[in-house]
Amino acid sequence: MSFAVAGCAAPRASEGAVSPGSAAPEAPAPAADAAAETKTATWGERYTWADGLAIEVSEPKPCKPSEYSVPENIERAVVVTIRVTNGAKETFDSSLLSVGGSAQHAGKPAESVFDTDGPCSGGVESADILPGKSFEYQQAFAVGKAPGELQLAFQPNFGATKAIFLGRA
């Protein structure tokens, strides 16, 4: 199952700033602007949009879905921890942060795994994140049997730049 949202404007990829994540030594995250270095982020790095909203994605860890998980017949699954830090001036609703249809593994769609109370539990969470606060949740994905490249793209609202995370899973 994946989530898709239609918008009028085509999103731009990688216009934000990428910096070390919160696990790295303390350093202020640079604000994104036209002069900022842009690149695709990877596990453990932080992507910060121009308004100060930031996202980090942990390295994928294997998880074994329970017999009642969806989709059925998963070859292999991985779970990531997603941390959203609100450096913006307004409260942010985390349910607006979409990844659904933008998850890929080895060039194929990577479906979100729904495993209520199972080892791969987690999924899109809804929380109001106040300015200066962070929120963390987990999301699992069905991936191919063999390790390969996992790509996750996040977008905080329609028309916003996509934060793309790319790495092995």
Reduced 3-state DSSP string for 17-30:
EEEECCCCCCCCCC
Fold topology of 17-23+38-168 = Immunoglobulin-like (2.60.40)
Percent of the chain with pLDDT over 70: 79
Residue 120, pLDDT > 80, answer yes
**Cβ-contact 97, 154 below 8 angstroms:** yes
| Cα–Cα distance, 71 to 85 (Å, whole number) | 30
Query: pLDDT-derived band of residue 15, with 50, 70 and 90 as boundaries?
Result: low
Domain residues of the chain, as ranges? Answer: 17-23+38-168
- Tokens representing residue 151 in the block: 């790509």
| Cα–Cα distance, 78 to 134 (Å, whole number) | 23
For residue range 81-102, list pLDDT tens digits in order: 999 999 999 999 998 887 656 8
Q: Would the pTM count as exceeding 0.85?
A: no
**Cβ-contact 23, 85 below 8 angstroms:** no
Query: pLDDT-derived band of residue 3, with 50, 70 and 90 as boundaries?
Result: very low
Query: pLDDT-derived band of residue 78, with 50, 70 and 90 as boundaries?
Result: very high
| Cα–Cα distance, 12 to 38 (Å, whole number) | 12
| Cα–Cα distance, 112 to 84 (Å, whole number) | 19
| Cα–Cα distance, 138 to 143 (Å, whole number) | 16
